Amino acid sequence: MPSYTPPLRDQQFVLHEVFKVSAAYQAMPKFSDTDADTINAVLEEGGKFAAEVIFPLNISGDTEGCKLDQATHEVTTPKGFKEAFAKYVEGGWPALSCEPEYGGQGLPLVVNQCFYEMLNSANQAWTMYPGLTHGAYAALATHGTDEQKKTYLHKMTSGEWTGTMCLTEPHCGTDLGLMRSKAEPQPDGSYRITGNKIFISAGEHDMTANIVHLVLARLPDAPPGIKGVSLFIVPKFRVNADGSLGERNGVYCGGLEHKMGIHGNATAQIVLDGAYGTLVGQPNKGMNGMFVMMNAARLGVGNQSLGLTEVAYQNALAYAKDRIQMRSLTGPKAKDKPADPIIVHPDVRRMLLTAKAYAEGGRALLVFCALLLDQEHHHPDEKQRQDSGEMLSLLTPIAKAFITDNGYAATTMCQQVFGGHGYIKEWGMEQFVRDARINMIYEGTNTIQSLDLLGRKVLGNNGATLKKFGKLIGALVEEEGVNEKMAEFINPIAILGEQMTKFTTELGFKGFQNPDEVGAAAVDYLRVAGHMVYGYLFARMAQVALRQIAAGSNDPFYVAKLQTARFYFAKLFPETATLMRTARTGSKVLMDTDAALA
């Protein structure tokens, strides 16, 4: 059976030593009382909940799965899921970063981010039930009417109700302009919505009294394509004027998807049969509200893979220290045993260190993103808000795609450490691999994220935001450029930073002549950008570690941080050279292949 220990020390390192979040929040009146002790206390309790309440349900939930009653359209979640959710609500966890005016605790999103990392390590399938509610909450808080906020946000904040996002239809996935769901206006100002949605995570379950679906549909006079999409609230049960639940709405689960992983989460086929709904925002402007939820979900999906990378690494490390197999190439290390623990073998260490580096890099990136999100919404300086939002926009597709690609590679490597036992269910490793696979697909496939990064976030503003990130690298290089102990961390990012300017300009010029050039290079480009971001973050982490050691610290944590950073720059970061070369090969080798693909 697998085990899990919340990585509180590393979270605290990133929060307080690298990003110094408490000082950052002093500049935001809303969070000025949030100090390190408060954050640490919340995360310590959150770690206990993750490890003690929902982690024990991970394998059993995967084995049992969800069950649909075809007659009633009701879904039963795996044994223990509903009771765990009740404890989650009892502990006040849904309200952690929600607004006090809706009953929330008003803590920074950074705290919720770290809490959810631990939940995802413990049980990704369970965590998706409350997780999606945060995105729905954010969309309604931003675009909902006062009446809608009053009706729904208090219940979503308390955890009494959960939320979903209903986009995909059987004939269209990412291309939402092909959507067919219809919304017919009613005399009372409401709408009757008809259509079919698929792949709706947590779309039906028995854990809460009501489910608030955010549904995309078309009005009768809507223009074609994505410009004709509107957003609606469609509750499972209609809500009476006094806030109590009324009649069952015409939205129900028609089937559950049979999936490769996340079996404990109800991925529903949703049928809308003249369902009552209310418009969110302006007609035909539904993507404005949905993108609030989608961007939150993209960061959340990156967090899912971070969680899986961490828990897979922990278990692979423990196994590698215990499992004996063959002798070290440099002579016996465990002379009292018939063979050495497999951790003495170089390639086992390569796999373990890859997972460790990807976990630590992903954690730093997601904390950075959460801090930017807090600054975008709550910093008193308008320029700081704008700059934070712009930087977050650049980093979001990287956080989603780079972390999930790395997460799948890492969980697979951790499974490999177990050898044949990794393929056997009771060790838990094969589940981590299966669960990690979906994260590369949903909330916009990683290819979509790559196109978004290169086509919109970089070339769309002539590299302006990328240059701003380059200034962060430049400032660090200037600060540490003469420090010989930092050279192994600074020189690689300084060189790549210079290369990125030429690389991006070249791809932009080729893409202007032939848009397929952008499509052909985008996936490679995102990985190069991902390594640039990780490289910057690892350099900052190494900077802190070196300063602590120079100040006299004997904490092995800092030595470990330096060793991981050295491994990252030596073994993973050099992938950028190959990626830039393959990106430059262009689209011809892909598109002039009609005979090969006949």
Q: What is the band of 481 on the pLDDT scale with cuts at 50, 70, 90?
A: confident
Give the pLDDT of residue 161. 98
Give the pLDDT of residue 178. 86
Q: What is the band of 172 on the pLDDT scale with cuts at 50, 70, 90?
A: confident
Share of the chain above pLDDT 70, in %: 100
Q: Which residues are catalytic?
A: 443
Is pLDDT above 90 for 292? no
Give the pLDDT of residue 175. 79
> For residue 552, is it left (φ>0), alpha (ψ between -120 and 50) or beta?
left
Give the pLDDT of residue 315. 98
Burial zone of 426 (CB within 10 Å; 0-12 exposed, 13-18 middle, 19+ buried) = exposed
Look up residue 345 and give its two tokens: 């073998």
pLDDT in tens, 110-143: 999 999 999 999 999 999 999 999 999 999 999 9
Q: What is the band of 1 on the pLDDT scale with cuts at 50, 70, 90?
A: confident
For the 162-285 domain, the top CATH level (class) is mainly beta
CATH number of 8-67+74-143: 1.10.540.10
Give the pLDDT of residue 242. 95
pLDDT in tens, 186-208: 999 999 999 999 999 999 999 99
pLDDT in tens, 203-253: 999 999 999 999 999 999 999 998 999 999 999 999 999 999 999 999 999
Give the pLDDT of residue 202. 97
pLDDT in tens, 500-558: 999 999 999 999 999 999 999 999 999 999 999 999 999 999 999 999 999 999 999 99
Is pLDDT above 80 for 82? yes
Token pair 């989650």 is found at 88
DSSP notation for 123-137: HHHHHHHHHHHHHHH
| 253 contacts: CB under 8 Å, gap ≥ 6 | 68, 73, 74, 75, 203, 204, 266, 268, 269, 270, 271
Q: Span 269-290, mean pLDDT?
A: 95
Look up residue 216 and give its two tokens: 């995309």
C-alpha distance from residue 567 to each of 223, 355, 504, 535 (Å): 53, 11, 27, 12
DSSP notation for 467-480: HHHHHHHHHHHHHH
- Any idea what the Cα angle at residue 11 is, between residues 6 and 12, rounded to 5°? 115
Is pLDDT above 80 for 477? yes
Give the pLDDT of residue 35. 96
pLDDT in tens, 373-415: 999 999 999 999 999 999 999 999 999 999 999 999 999 999 9
User: H-type helices in 144-166, by residue range?
Assistant: 146-158
pLDDT in tens, 3-40: 999 999 999 999 999 999 999 999 999 999 999 999 99
Look up residue 523 and give its two tokens: 């996936």
Look up residue 173 and give its two tokens: 């996935």
Q: Span 76-105, mean pLDDT?
A: 97
Longest dimension (CA), the chain: 84
Q: Span 469-481, mean pLDDT?
A: 96
More confident residue, 338 or 172: 338
| DSSP 8-state symbol, 591 | H
CA dist 253 and 77 (Å) reads: 14
CA dist 312 and 3 (Å) reads: 9
CA dist 471 and 95 (Å) reads: 37
Q: Which of 192, 399, 334, 361 minimizes the C-alpha distance to 276? A: 192
Q: Span 46-66, mean pLDDT?
A: 98
- Any idea what the Cα angle at residue 360 is, between residues 358 and 362, rounded to 5°? 65
Instruction: Give pTM, 2 decimals.
Output: 0.98
Residue 278, CB-side half-sphere exposure with 13 Å CA sphere: 17
> 3-state class of 583 per DSSP?
helix
Give the pLDDT of residue 296. 87
CB 248 within 8 Å of CB 237: yes
CB 261 within 8 Å of CB 431: yes
Is pLDDT above 80 for 176? no
The H or E element that residue 67 is part of is strand 67-69
Instruction: Give the type of residue at 126.
Output: W
